[in-house]
Structure 1
Amino acid sequence: MDIDALKNRRRRVVGMRETLKKIAQGTVLCVYIAQDAEARVIEEIVNQSTTRNIPIEYVGSMDELGRLCGIEVGAACAALLPEQRSFA
């Protein structure tokens, strides 16, 4: 999947709540999970992604995932969203 797209704020959400919300809406292309995230935090994300056949990519650490998302703090998970079309 396109890890570079995680830096685009319009193409990603970061964090457990936002990721679960987008999974429920059916708008997630791929979920990224930090390998050092607490199991209790990511358990529901893994379950929902697996149930809905959403690919899961594991990233080395929460700090690394935060950097990939262009934020200054670590992130347990993030989700890649489809490109939004602008109608002009």
Structure 2
Amino acid sequence: MSNRPFSSRGKIPRKDRLPGVRATERAVQSGLCRAVYVAKDAEERVVKNLLKLCQEKGIPVSFFDSMKELGEFCSLKVGASACAILKDPGEGTGN
């Protein structure tokens, strides 16, 4: 992705970004996220279960070109394999 992702109301606030594969998997399972970002260069074995889970739950998945770029998007100094975009408080948890 060359441009930063946007929500329907503009840029995605930092508080709505949850980096990390395990944290993202928990957010998907709990129905707390509306979208997931995955780095294209993340190891397949690391993100395979997450991608399957997103497909089962109907969560849209988009890709960043690199873990470094996704880490920067998440305001990290290191790379990230995945990131959940959390739902707004009024959106509910319809899993």
TM-score bin, normalised by smaller chain: 0.7 to 0.9
In 1, Cα distance between equivalents of 2:34 and 2:40? 19
Q: Structure 2 residue aligned with 1:51, among 49, 52, 56?
A: 56
Ranges in structure 1 where 5+ consecutive residues have no aligned partner: none
- What's 2:93 paired with? none
Structure 1 match to 2:22: 17
Task: Name the one with the larger helix percent.
Answer: 1
| Partner amino acid, structure 2, of 1:11 | D
In structure 2, the gaps of 5 or more residues are: 91-95
**Pair 1:2-2:35 in alignment:** no
Q: Does 1:77 align with 2:87?
A: no
Q: CA RMSD in A?
A: 1.6
Percent of matched pairs sharing the same residue: 31
The structure 1 segments of at least 4 consecutive aligned residues displaced by more than 3 Å after TM superposition are none
Q: Given residue 20 of structure 1, which amino acid in structure 2 is its aligned partner? A: E
**TM-score, normalising length: structure 2:** 0.80
Q: Deviations over 1:56-84 (max 9, x none)?
A: 00100000000011111000000100234
Q: Number of aligned residue pairs: give it.
A: 83
